[in-house]
Amino acid sequence: MALRWIGDLSTCFLLEEGWAFRLKVNEFILKGKPGWQLPRSIAEALAVEPGERRLLRWSGNGPPHRLVLEWAPTGFVGGSIDEPMSWLEMKVDDLAFLVLREDRYSIVVRRTSEVDHGDALGTLLWSSGLDPSDSVVRGDAWRRLVRTLGGTGSTAEALTERLKKRGDKRLMPLVAPAEECVTLERNNVQWPPGWQYVLPAADCERYFCIRGVDDRVRALVGVMDGTGSLPPGLIEGDGGTLWLEASWGDESAVEAVKSLLTDPPVGLVPSAARQLWTRWVAGEHQARLAALTGSDWTVELGSGGWAYEGQSAPDLLSALEMIRPDASRPASAVQIRTSTNFPRNRLGFRDGVERLVESGVRFLRANPDTGFSAVLADGHTADGATLSELARRAAR
């Protein structure tokens, strides 16, 4: 009777070091007890004949060791392996992935401390001999898992097929929740915390857009209305802002934005239909991003109006537009949020500026943690992520 290929066995995994047999560590193994079972398919792969006793030398760090493998009447069994496990400081319930070759062996260790069993993706990776904390591995999880299980493909469906072929009923239920992990982690990479503040703007003609990774953009279409209803297909950002996500250069997305602004759904105030509102959002973002990327800018209000680095400006917005963020530097990793909703129209921005002036503002300065600081005539300061938040705090 032909034996199954080791890639179709639920206990064998193709790691970078080669095919490995997964052995769960228990007290008996740590006490040096022999007799733990291996699939006979491994004996066939190693060209071990029935009745043969094979010695494999330890190829890892530490003193010499010989692992005995024997095709006995009771099956293909392993001898004492406690010494290398001791050198590797392995404990009960750790996983030892034994990389077995014709005359030598090594161990890839996966420790129980590496995995949170509430993390379905991490458990899949860990159970398959892969590092669950490696961001590169997690970012390419499906392809790596399918390959490790002896298959080809880069989807959750391909992984499910391999698990079915291997008869692995223990890991199969983890695929669906692992898909949720992958989706969430990819979104976090594309759109990190504070994305609307810390990511650069994209050139989207008359609309204000934020560029993520993988050529994804989010176009700002307006703010939430008083109903509190989130319109279908839109993403709620900080401060009650509403965004439409699309691929960079997608002409249909431009048409979708136009349609939303022409015939807004319940829940959307189509603020982006007004160019001056969009200009305020873009200018504020530009100054804030410059602060978060390390620029130490100052905008001063004097008797002659607003000025940036000695250059006079007709208004605050024009002064903010003079500030340029350093595109070569990433924004601060600090997660910022505003406690004030974004203005619904340009008058909201104008009112915020008037309140700042009434509060005695002398300077606006870069704040590397929040974006903005206002320095008042009495020496007090106010910090905020937006001009509206700054105006509210300065008026206290």
pLDDT digits (tens, 9 = 90+) for 333-359: 566 888 889 999 999 999 999 999 999
Q: Residues 257, 268: contact at Cβ < 8 Å?
A: no
Q: What is the pLDDT of residue 363?
A: 93
Q: What is the pLDDT of residue 242?
A: 96
Q: Are residues 99 and 29 in the same domain?
A: yes
pTM above 0.85, yes or no: no
Count of structural domains, the chain? 4
Q: What is the pLDDT of residue 353?
A: 94
Q: Are residues 288 and 214 in the same domain?
A: no
Q: Are residues 295 and 392 in the same domain?
A: yes
Q: Are residues 215 and 316 in the same domain?
A: no
Q: Are residues 81 and 158 in the same domain?
A: no
Q: Which of 145, 162, 190 is the last residue of a domain?
A: 190
Question: What amino acid occupies position 98?
Answer: L
Q: What is the pLDDT of residue 60?
A: 83
Cα 172 from chain centre: 24
Q: What is the pLDDT of residue 1?
A: 55
Question: What amino acid occupies position 201?
Answer: A
The one-digit pLDDT tens for each residue of the chain (396 residues) are: 578 999 999 999 999 999 999 999 999 999 999 999 999 999 999 999 999 999 999 998 888 999 999 999 999 999 999 999 999 999 999 999 999 999 999 999 999 999 988 899 999 999 999 999 988 888 889 999 999 999 999 899 999 999 999 999 999 999 999 998 888 777 666 788 888 999 999 887 789 999 887 778 999 999 999 888 899 999 999 999 999 998 877 777 788 899 999 999 999 999 999 999 999 999 999 999 999 998 999 999 988 899 999 899 999 999 999 999 887 777 765 668 888 899 999 999 999 999 999 999 999 999 998 999 999 999 899 999 999 999 999 887
Token pair 């002064």: residue? 319
Cα 166 from chain centre: 30
Q: Are residues 181 and 281 in the same domain?
A: no
Domain that holds residue 21: 1-114
Q: Are residues 230 and 290 in the same domain?
A: no
Q: Are residues 122 and 197 in the same domain?
A: no
Q: Are residues 2 and 108 in the same domain?
A: yes
In the chain, which residue ranges form alpha helices assigned H by DSSP? 27-30, 40-45, 82-87, 120-127, 135-139, 141-148, 156-166, 175-190, 195-198, 251-262, 275-292, 316-321, 346-358, 387-394
Q: Are residues 134 and 226 in the same domain?
A: no
The SS3 assignment for 373 reads strand
Q: What is the pLDDT of residue 136?
A: 82
Which CATH number covers residue 82? Answer: 2.40.330.10
**Phi, psi dihedrals of residue 306, rounded to the nearest 5°:** -85, 145
Cα 96 from chain centre: 29
Q: Which of 145, 165, 190 is the last residue of a domain?
A: 190
Q: Which of 114, 130, 162 is the last residue of a domain?
A: 114
Q: What is the pLDDT of residue 67?
A: 96
Q: What is the pLDDT of residue 206?
A: 81
Give CA angle at 183 (177, 188), nearest 5°.
Answer: 125
